[in-house]
Chain A
Amino acid sequence: MSISLETILQLSIILPMFAVVGIVATGRKPDLREGVTISTSLVLLYFVIKLYQGIKQGESISVQWWEILPGLQLSFNIEPLGMIFALIASFLWIITTVYAIGYMRSHQEQNQTRFYACFAIAIGSVMGIAFAANLFTLFIFYEVLTLSTYPLVTHAGTKEAKKGGRIYLGILLSTSIAFFLLAIVSTWFVAGTLDFKPGGVFDSNVNTTVAGVILVLFIFGIGKAAIMPFHRWLPAAMVAPTPVSALLHAVAVVKAGVFTVLKVCVLIFGVDLLAVLPTTQFMLYLAGASVLLASLVAMRLDNLKARLAYSTVSQLGYVTIGALMASSSGVIGSSMHIGMHAFGKITLFFCAGAILVAAHKSKISEMRGIGLQMPITMAAFFIASLSIIGVPPTGGTWSKWFLLMGTMQTEQWTIMVILMISSLLNIAYLLPIPLRAFFPGTKTSFAGTGIKEAPLPSLIALCITTVSCVILFVYPQPLYELAKAILVTPG
């Protein structure tokens, strides 16, 4: 192999950005344009896998670009958590592109070139976030991600899209400027560095009140983690085309949020400091409330995408809880949940989009009996739901297992009860959908309406993610190894 791993690391961030040029240049020829996207995503996955093999062999890969401000460098470094995130995002980008080709064409969406271009920028910034070696670099890509997804959210250009876009940008930009940036500057002032370091960057004798306040600023500031009361942007973002909701608002953007929370907790504060901060417990309860309330809201929503969005808010709370519990199982559970939830939720969104494209239905109440016409889609929905709930034979089992272990380790009994109740609520708001689709009773039937499965590319995509959910149950070791390595990474 001739290219060094350092080069590959840089390429994996730059490549998607460069793909934009190709996408725009071939904008008039849709087949060629999608070809550019697909081949870029394949190369990107190849790169990320190379990097994965690299760090599996124990190599440390890091790159410094240049100093933007004295002492604040754009630099990248691969650690296990970032690896998990990059692997998931780059793999799912391919699948989503395949899905998007079927969806966007049969839905006859406008401005597809802009759509694919912004998508590529978003993925590039996700790679930047995943591999950032310090908070400063992460923050920059975090903001690029917000801005590049704005045109995707407002893709339709309608009044609702504009309104959704307003809430989306308003909350994400506001929280990041008002709280996140303040937290970063404060960290820089108190600790003198923004580098991610195992065990954290703060002195052991740091004023816990100050650090506690900074923690609150971080949790509120990372709006992408959608902790209540800063979650409203996520349902608002559902006006976007379904592939966007699927990859960005079930995987890339929201995972960028919880990923940042996890990194801040483990590599800026460090588990030991986190455990003694006066505000940790409060934030933990807040995340718990977020889990519970979002599930309750999801129960009473009839729009499928909106219900899935609130379900995401709730599931993101799990990851934040795991991070804040400051225990090894919690952190492992959180990191695994980033992956498990990604596969489950993207499948659910793929299904929602497939139903929209094939049957033009977006309301759950109208989906009774649709399973007979769209058996594959609804079967996939059923399996993905199991993964979100966390029962075998799906991947979600493992992450919930570790999260519950974490609550026991740290004796957070309230949180444990919250997690249990929430799982029950998951069952209540997810499972009836596929069940009623297959067993509608006598009320309605779609026979003879001519509704059939979604276009083939979309169908293939959702099958792959569904199978992945099951594979992750049988074979979770790679994910587990990476998750376990987070706490022990040497400098």
Chain B
Amino acid sequence: MLAHLPILQVIVPLMAAPLCLFLSRSRLVWLFALIVSGLAFLISSLLLQQVMTSGTIIYELGGWDAPWGIEYRIDQLSAFLLLIISAVSTVVLFAAHTSIQQEIPTGRHTLFYILYLLSLAGMLGIVATGDAFNVFVFLEISSLSAYALIALGKDRRALWASYQYLIMGTIGATFILIGIGLMYQMTGTLNMDDLSRRLPEVAHTRTVFTAFAFVIVGVCLKLALFPLHLWLPNAYAYAPSIVTTFFAATATKVAIYLLIRFTFSVFGLSFSFTALPLQMLFVVLGLLGIFVASFAAIYQKNVKHLFAYSSIAQIGYMIVGFSVSTTTGLMATLLHMFNHALMKSALFLALAAVIYRIGSVQLSQFHGLGRQMPFTMAAIVIGGLSLIGVPLTVGFVSKWYLVLATIENGWWPVAVLILLGSLLAVVYVWRIVEVAYFKPALAGREGTKEAPLSFLIPIWILVIANIYFGVDTRLSVQVAQAASQSLFGVSP
């Protein structure tokens, strides 16, 4: 059983999705989805433990040897990502039943859970597989279900947002496919490990260079790197709140995982950073992303939009860490992926609770919520502090490593800019705080009550995780360090 964990990780949610059809009642489906996601979480914890003690796990599908068969390859990096995805998915699902009551018509609840599980399976698959074509397949599974999930949003603009995402996402996926095709043409293999050994022989050809360019651009579209981020704010803002929470915490992380996987493992560090002026490009785009998106966040009136722009800014931080291309830099990126997943899931879930109570996330409707929904708003404040990077929260841990990485590299101006960028977070977080705590409740809304426990419990699990992993960083730092070192080929 334990030997089959890598495939179970993907196959359990994948197979469970159609099974939802057999369960008619919304609550039953929810429980089933929750159990499945919980199982996925359990499996990923076991996998991480296994990887940390005994190294990379290689699993051959159907017993066929790679490179002929498909191979699943779980190293520290993928185990880390699997854990993030399945953990967030499970905690978020806790609140799903209550939240979708109001946002999705009852007849579509089963559909929602099916899509959710498919999307989960797709993301887990992308991370678990060691086969480049398999990546594309899972990417499409998760993306297609994501488009449908976003379209489920109550607001009719959700359809438009979903369509936008569909177009951009498909372009991205197609680019990745073209890249993979070109690589296959040159090397005759789709296995990533095999690719990494065969690509250097043909590294000088224009075809490989083109393949690399296609893959990078495709992945950057998916991860919403500035200026390829335009699909993201609306998709996040108009999707059902649970979907927003789940995607904000995981989807872009998976794309960053692909970026790291392709540049470090498939093409190799020396090729990746010499073929294109990647370092220069990414540090500039990352910093631009931080500033442009943070400024945009400051001027948003819809709080979901606000945090969506903040997500783009946070992706900027991850990209800057990546562009430093040292072990510390990559470690900062990995840590921020973990930490950002915690912050944003807490924040968006708290927003879901606000929507549940007042039916809106316009900032102008937040008046007086500090008193009416004290626990929910406290969660937003703590999540916001974490976003700013205040000590004792996870945000501080990421910031520390990111600044350290840039300074180690002698990039002083970048370090200064990173810190200045985080000041912008103070501004947009405090706009919410001031409205919620200093304005009296709106007329006609004096009776607003605190969110129900089915929200508060998962929200506060995430908030406490934000603090816990900011104080006890052994897990996140050790895994991120091990993953980063193994990607650089440094033995720990």
CB distance from B287 to the nearest CB of A (A): 15
Known: A157-B438, A178-B416. Contact between A143 and B391, CB under 8 A? Answer: yes
| Bound CA span A226–B112, Å | 55
CB distance from B328 to the nearest CB of A (A): 10
- As a 0/1 sequence over residues 163 to 199 of chain A, the CB contacts with chain B under 8 angstroms (1 = contact) are 0001001100110011001100110110000000000
| Bound CA span A157–B440, Å | 10
Q: Hey, which chain A residues are within 8 Å of B423, CB to CB?
A: 173-174, 177-178
Determine whether B420 belongs to the interface, using a CB cutoff of 8 Å to chain A: yes
Known: A69-B473, A174-B423. Contact between A185 and B391, CB under 8 A? Answer: no
Q: Are the C-beta atoms of A178 and B477 separated by less than 8 Å?
A: no
Most-contacted residue by chain B among A68, A140, A166, A186 (CB, 10 A): A68
- As a 0/1 sequence over residues 427 to 443 of chain B, the CB contacts with chain A under 8 angstroms (1 = contact) are 00010001000100000
Determine whether B400 belongs to the interface, using a CB cutoff of 8 Å to chain A: yes
Among the 9-residue stretches B100-108, B147-155, B382-390, the one with 4 or more Cβ atoms under 8 Å from chain A is B382-390
| Bound CA span A182–B404, Å | 9
Determine whether A147 belongs to the interface, using a CB cutoff of 8 Å to chain B: yes
| Bound CA span A25–B422, Å | 36
Residue of A nearest to B390 (CB): A143
Q: Hey, which chain B residues are within 8 Å of A177, CB to CB?
A: 388-389, 419, 422-423, 426
| Bound CA span A188–B328, Å | 14
For the complex of A and B, the 7 pairs showing the least CB-CB separation, nearest first, are A140-B391, A185-B403, A178-B419, A162-B438, A189-B407, A143-B391, A174-B423
Q: Are the C-beta atoms of A188 and B388 separated by less than 8 Å?
A: no
- Find B404's partner among A140, A166, A178, A189 (CB 8 Å cutoff): A189
- Find B426's partner among A69, A174, A185, A188 (CB 8 Å cutoff): A174
Q: Are the C-beta atoms of B426 and A169 separated by less than 8 Å?
A: yes
- As a 0/1 sequence over residues 392 to 427 of chain B, the CB contacts with chain A under 8 angstroms (1 = contact) are 100001011101100110000001100110110010
Q: Hey, which chain B residues are within 8 Å of A52, CB to CB?
A: none
Q: Hey, which chain A residues are within 8 Å of B470, CB to CB?
A: 68
CB distance from B324 to the nearest CB of A (A): 14
Known: A66-B472, A144-B392, A166-B430. Contact between A182 and B419, CB under 8 A? Answer: yes
Q: Are the C-beta atoms of B472 and A182 separated by less than 8 Å?
A: no
Q: Hey, which chain B residues are within 8 Å of A143, CB to CB?
A: 390-392
Known: A174-B423, A178-B423. Contact between A69 and B397, CB under 8 A? Answer: yes
Residue of B nearest to A139 (CB): B391
Determine whether A154 belongs to the interface, using a CB cutoff of 8 Å to chain B: yes
Residue of B nearest to A151 (CB): B437
Q: Are the C-beta atoms of A173 and B403 separated by less than 8 Å?
A: no
CB distance from B406 to the nearest CB of A (A): 9
Residue of B nearest to A178 (CB): B419
Determine whether A70 belongs to the interface, using a CB cutoff of 8 Å to chain B: yes
Q: Hey, which chain B residues are within 8 Å of A154, CB to CB?
A: 438
Q: Hey, which chain B residues are within 8 Å of A188, CB to CB?
A: 404
Q: Hey, which chain B residues are within 8 Å of A182, CB to CB?
A: 403, 415-416, 419
CB distance from B3 to the nearest CB of A (A): 33
Residue of B nearest to A142 (CB): B391
Q: List 26 A-B contacts (CB under 8 A).
A: A68-B397, A68-B470, A70-B477, A140-B391, A140-B392, A143-B391, A143-B392, A144-B392, A147-B390, A162-B438, A166-B430, A173-B390, A173-B423, A177-B388, A177-B389, A177-B422, A177-B426, A178-B419, A181-B403, A181-B419, A182-B415, A185-B400, A185-B403, A185-B407, A189-B407, A189-B408
Determine whether B281 belongs to the interface, using a CB cutoff of 8 Å to chain A: no
CB distance from B78 to the nearest CB of A (A): 23
Q: Are the C-beta atoms of B419 and A173 separated by less than 8 Å?
A: no
Interface residues on A, range: 20 to 34
Most-contacted residue by chain A among B391, B407, B471 (CB, 10 A): B391
| Bound CA span A162–B440, Å | 13
Q: Hey, which chain A residues are within 8 Å of B404, CB to CB?
A: 185, 188-189
Q: Hey, which chain A residues are within 8 Å of B403, CB to CB?
A: 181-182, 185
Q: Hey, which chain B residues are within 8 Å of A69, CB to CB?
A: 397, 400-401, 473, 477
Interface positions, chain A 99-147, Cβ under 8 Å from B, are: 139-140, 143-144, 147
Most-contacted residue by chain B among A66, A69, A162 (CB, 10 A): A69
Known: A181-B403, A182-B403, A189-B407. Contact between A173 and B388, CB under 8 A? Answer: yes
Q: Hey, which chain B residues are within 8 Å of A144, CB to CB?
A: 391-392
| Bound CA span A189–B407, Å | 8
Interface positions, chain B 296-316, Cβ under 8 Å from A, are: none
Q: Hey, which chain B residues are within 8 Å of A68, CB to CB?
A: 397, 470-473
Q: Are the C-beta atoms of A169 and B438 separated by less than 8 Å?
A: no
Interface positions, chain A 293-335, Cβ under 8 Å from B, are: none
Q: Hey, which chain A residues are within 8 Å of B392, CB to CB?
A: 140, 143-144
CB distance from A72 to the nearest CB of B (A): 8
| Bound CA span A178–B416, Å | 7
10 further contact pairs, Cβ within 8 A, besides A189-B404, A189-B407: A68-B471, A139-B391, A144-B392, A166-B434, A177-B422, A177-B426, A178-B419, A178-B420, A182-B415, A189-B408
- Find A186's partner among B389, B399, B401, B407 (CB 8 Å cutoff): B407
Most-contacted residue by chain A among B408, B470, B471 (CB, 10 A): B471
| Bound CA span A161–B439, Å | 12
Known: A147-B385, A169-B430, A177-B423. Contact between A185 and B477, CB under 8 A? Answer: no
Q: Hey, which chain A residues are within 8 Å of B400, CB to CB?
A: 69, 185
Residue of B nearest to A186 (CB): B407
| Bound CA span A178–B420, Å | 6
CB distance from B291 to the nearest CB of A (A): 14
Q: Hey, which chain B residues are within 8 Å of A166, CB to CB?
A: 430, 434
Q: Hey, which chain B residues are within 8 Å of A189, CB to CB?
A: 404, 407-408
CB distance from B386 to the nearest CB of A (A): 12
| Bound CA span A170–B438, Å | 17
Residue of A nearest to B425 (CB): A177
Q: Hey, which chain B residues are within 8 Å of A178, CB to CB?
A: 416, 419-420, 423
CB distance from A216 to the nearest CB of B (A): 13
- Find A185's partner among B397, B415, B434, B472 (CB 8 Å cutoff): B415
| Bound CA span A162–B370, Å | 14
Q: Hey, which chain B residues are within 8 Å of A147, CB to CB?
A: 385, 390
CB distance from B258 to the nearest CB of A (A): 28
| Bound CA span A166–B399, Å | 23
CB distance from B175 to the nearest CB of A (A): 38
| Bound CA span A186–B397, Å | 16
Q: Hey, which chain B residues are within 8 Å of A162, CB to CB?
A: 434, 438
CB distance from A111 to the nearest CB of B (A): 11
| Bound CA span A144–B391, Å | 8
| Bound CA span A174–B420, Å | 8
Most-contacted residue by chain B among A69, A144, A185 (CB, 10 A): A185
Q: Hey, which chain A residues are within 8 Å of B407, CB to CB?
A: 185-186, 189
CB distance from B294 to the nearest CB of A (A): 14
| Bound CA span A70–B480, Å | 13
| Bound CA span A178–B434, Å | 23
Q: Hey, which chain A residues are within 8 Å of B473, CB to CB?
A: 68-69
Interface positions, chain B 176-214, Cβ under 8 Å from A, are: none
Residue of A nearest to B397 (CB): A69
Q: Hey, which chain A residues are within 8 Å of B420, CB to CB?
A: 178
Q: Hey, which chain B residues are within 8 Å of A174, CB to CB?
A: 423, 426
| Bound CA span A189–B404, Å | 7
Q: Hey, which chain A residues are within 8 Å of B391, CB to CB?
A: 139-140, 143-144
CB distance from B433 to the nearest CB of A (A): 9
Most-contacted residue by chain A among B403, B472, B477 (CB, 10 A): B403
Known: A182-B419, A185-B415, A189-B408. Contact between A173 and B438, CB under 8 A? Answer: no
- As a 0/1 sequence over residues 142 to 173 of chain B, the CB contacts with chain A under 8 angstroms (1 = contact) are 00000000000000000000000000000000
Most-contacted residue by chain B among A161, A162, A166, A177 (CB, 10 A): A177
CB distance from A124 to the nearest CB of B (A): 13
Residue of B nearest to A170 (CB): B426
CB distance from B70 to the nearest CB of A (A): 38
| Bound CA span A174–B424, Å | 9
Residue of A nearest to B470 (CB): A68
CB distance from A239 to the nearest CB of B (A): 13
